[in-house]
Amino acid sequence: MIVFLNPAAGGGTALKKWSQIRDELPSLGEGIEICSLADPAELALIVADAVARGETRLVAAGGDGTVHHLLNTLMMLPLDIRKQAILGAIGLGSSNDFHKPFVNSHLLRGVPLHIDFEHPCLRDVGVVEVTSNGHTVRRCFLINASIGLTAEGNRFFNSPDSMLGWLKKHNTALAILYASVNSIFRHKNDLVRLHLVDGEPWQLSLTNLGVVKNPHFSGSLRYDLPIDYTSGTFGICVATDLGLLQRLRLLLSLSHGRFPRNNNAWVKSSSALTIEADNDFPVEVDGEILLGGTASFSIIPQGIKVCS
């Protein structure tokens, strides 16, 4: 088994968390290899070598971004090889949305674990292709993606000012709240065109759009959607044309696990969708940010095995 340890996760607190739990981790057999990664780009070389040696147990020890990078590396492997790999995770990040909802039996000193290789489960893999100036970037994801408020908040969280940088190291909940409120006050609704596979396109003044497999995101925020990792569809949560007070109410509702349904907010289910705008906009994918004027989403049904 290879553990890919990202020391930069959790605002630089990952190594401290790792040192507190490493000697208490459940026995996972012999041959455990620890790779400390400052640069996620190293993943491709290490994973390719591991698979060539027949090692299929791969653990992302970091935040949601570490899981995201390991997943995308695995999804580039030939299908017959990828089918053998099992993705595990140890949550050392700020939000650890991949692990939610937290289950007490999977927590070690408050750190969530997905390292049961004896009982892996297949999960759908979301795919987004983001195009800007004729150049397309493809990313896979397991949690959710967003455009609008959530994406802007994540963009700020990933590139913080001095205050947010300090909060990320000392109080994750306050850091997420600070980033969320900052994006709410700065947000301007964008005119976009939304296409679902089962209907006519809409033109929307978009406040926020969530493309959901796991409804949890950004700390305590979550959509009130059921979790179904093998449905072959996304939950699509759309909020349109919200003013400042309405955006603050949306944040409050999501902090209590509720997404409103009204003339400005609605939920649908779809296996694919495309969002287009005249200018580039941020697209958040499992906490990572891409920029483009078109974002097309689809699903690879049951595309990866994940530890329970």
Using the 8-state DSSP alphabet, how is residue 262 labeled? B
Averaged pLDDT of the chain = 90
Residues 137 and 253 in one domain: yes
Q: Span 228-239, mean pLDDT?
A: 96
CATH number at residue 34: 3.40.50.10330
The band of 279, judged by pLDDT with boundaries at 50, 70 and 90, is very high
Rg (CA), the chain: 19
CA distances from 202 to 144, 192, 233, 262, 274 (A): 22, 8, 20, 16, 11
Q: Please check whether residue 39 lies inside any domain of the structure.
A: yes
Print the domain residue range for 98: 2-119
For the segment 192-211, what is each residue's pLDDT rounded down to a tens digit? 999 998 777 899 999 999 99
Q: Please check whether residue 307 lies inside any domain of the structure.
A: no
CB 77 within 8 A of CB 85: yes
Residues 108 and 154 in one domain: no
Q: Does 42 have pLDDT greater than 80?
A: no
Q: How far apart are CA 146 and CA 195, in angstroms?
A: 15
Which among 12-16, 48-52, 82-86, 265-269 has the top mean pLDDT?
265-269
- What percentage of the chain carries pLDDT values higher than 90? 63
Q: Please check whether residue 110 lies inside any domain of the structure.
A: yes
Residues 93 and 169 in one domain: no
Residues 28 and 12 in one domain: yes
Q: Span 227-255, mean pLDDT?
A: 96
Q: Span 140-161, mean pLDDT?
A: 92
Domain end, chosen from 87, 119, 151, is at 119
Q: Please check whether residue 308 lies inside any domain of the structure.
A: no
3-state helix, strand, coil in the chain (%, to 5): 30, 40, 30
pLDDT for 40 = 60
Interstrand relation of 57-62 and 86-91 (parallel, antiparallel or unpaired) = parallel
CATH number at residue 290: 2.60.200.40
Number of domains in the chain: 2
Q: Does 29 have pLDDT greater than 60?
A: no
Sign of CA dihedral 181, 183, 188, 190: negative
Residues 177 and 291 in one domain: yes
The band of 78, judged by pLDDT with boundaries at 50, 70 and 90, is confident
CB 238 within 8 A of CB 204: yes
Q: Please check whether residue 113 lies inside any domain of the structure.
A: yes
Residues 115 and 129 in one domain: no
Domain end, chosen from 119, 137, 171, is at 119
Sign of CA dihedral 12, 13, 19, 21: negative
Domain end, chosen from 101, 119, 137, is at 119
Residues 264 and 150 in one domain: yes
Q: Span 73-96, mean pLDDT?
A: 90
